[in-house]
A = this chain, B = another copy of it.
C-alpha cells in the first residue's frame, strides 16, 4: 500500500460531495469523484461549497474527476475504498452492477452511504471477497449544478455488513480504517457495531411515515393533524419493531414515541414524498421491499406494511413510466386469470 489510500466517490450529490470533501480534508487518501453532470465545468472551475462545517470553499477539485464509472475503471487505480452515495434503486439499476468496473477483488472495500435496509446482501453475494461497509448519514446537504449547500452537520454512523468470509475483527478493522480516513475535527463520524440494528431503527421512520406521506401527498405535520400518524404510521411502526425483534434487534421501548415526535413543530417533507413531488422514482425496495422479504423469512406478520408496499409498487410503476423507464402495451393484453 502506498502512503495514501485510493478512494473513489460515486454519486456526488449533496451528501456525497460532503463525504468527499471530508475525506479530502483529512488528507489521508487520493480522491476521485465520478460525476454524472457538469463534468466540463467541474474540470475547469471545481466545486463551490457553502458548508455549515467547512465554511465557504471556492473552486475545490478532488485529485481526479471522471465522467463515468467506466472511465474511473480505466484509470488503472486499484481502489482501497469505493464510496457509493447514489440513490439506491435496485428495481432500476443495481449497485452491484454499477460499481463492477471499479471493484478490485479481495482489495476494494465498498462503503454504502445510502438509505434503506439489507442493502449489503446483494453486494456480498456479488463480491464475496470484498468488505462491504455501511454508512448511515444524518448530514443535510443539497447540490445545485456545481454548488453544494451543506446545511446540516456531517454526522454519520459507520458499521460493517456481516460477511461469513471474513473474521469479524477484519471487518471491524477495515471499517475503522475508513473512519480514520474520513473523520476530521469538523465532522462526527463514529463507529457503530451493529448496522442491522441501526438500519432497523431508521426504518421505524422511513417505512412508516415516509411511505404514507409519499402515497397521500401530505407532509409529516399534516399526517399527524389529519389522523394518519395514529391510524396507519404508528401501527406500521409496531410491525417494524416486531420484525426487528424476531431478527434479534431489540429496539428501545420508547422508539415509537420518539419517532412519532421526530418532526414535532415542523411540516416536514420526507425524502420519498420529495421524490414523488419531483417525479423521481422512489427508494421503495430498500425502504420497504427488503424488510418485508425478511419478515416473510422470519414468518412475522406485517399486514399494514404489505398493503403500503403493494400500493407503492403501483405508484413506482407510474413514476417509472413517466420517466420512460417502463411502458405498457398500447392495447391492454387479454387476462385469463380466474379471481376468487
Does chain B have a CB within 8 A of A185?
A: no
Which A residues between 252 and 279 are near B, CB-CB below 8 angstroms? 254, 256-257, 259-261, 264-267
Check A339/B234 contact, CB under 8 A, given A218-B314, A311-B311, A328-B221.
yes
Check A232/B265 contact, CB under 8 A, given A257-B340, A318-B222.
no
Contacts of A257 in B (CB 8 A): 338-340
A215 touches B311 (CB 8 A): yes
Chain A, 315-334, contact with B by CB distance < 8 Å: what is the 0/1 string? 10110010000001001111
Check A318/B217 contact, CB under 8 A, given A303-B303, A304-B307, A332-B265.
yes
Majority SS at the chain A contact face:
helix
Does chain B have a CB within 8 A of A337?
A: yes
Does chain B have a CB within 8 A of A224?
A: yes
A328 touches B234 (CB 8 A): no
Check A264/B340 contact, CB under 8 A, given A227-B310, A311-B215.
no
Size of A's binding interface in residues, CB under 8 A: 52
Q: How far is the CB of A158 from chain B (nearest CB, A)?
A: 30
Which A residues between 215 and 229 are near B, CB-CB below 8 angstroms? 215-218, 221-229
The complex places the Cα of A333 from the Cα of B254 at a distance, in Å, of 22
A339 touches B232 (CB 8 A): no
Does chain B have a CB within 8 A of A335?
A: yes
20 contacts between A and B (CB under 8 A): A212-B311, A212-B314, A215-B216, A216-B311, A217-B314, A217-B318, A218-B315, A221-B332, A222-B328, A226-B317, A227-B310, A227-B314, A228-B314, A232-B310, A257-B339, A261-B339, A264-B334, A267-B332, A303-B304, A307-B308
Known interface pairs A215-B315, A265-B331; 18 further A-B residue pairs with C-beta atoms within 8 A, sorted by A's residue number: A215-B311, A216-B314, A217-B315, A222-B314, A222-B321, A223-B314, A225-B332, A226-B314, A228-B311, A228-B314, A232-B310, A256-B340, A261-B335, A264-B332, A264-B334, A265-B334, A266-B332, A303-B307
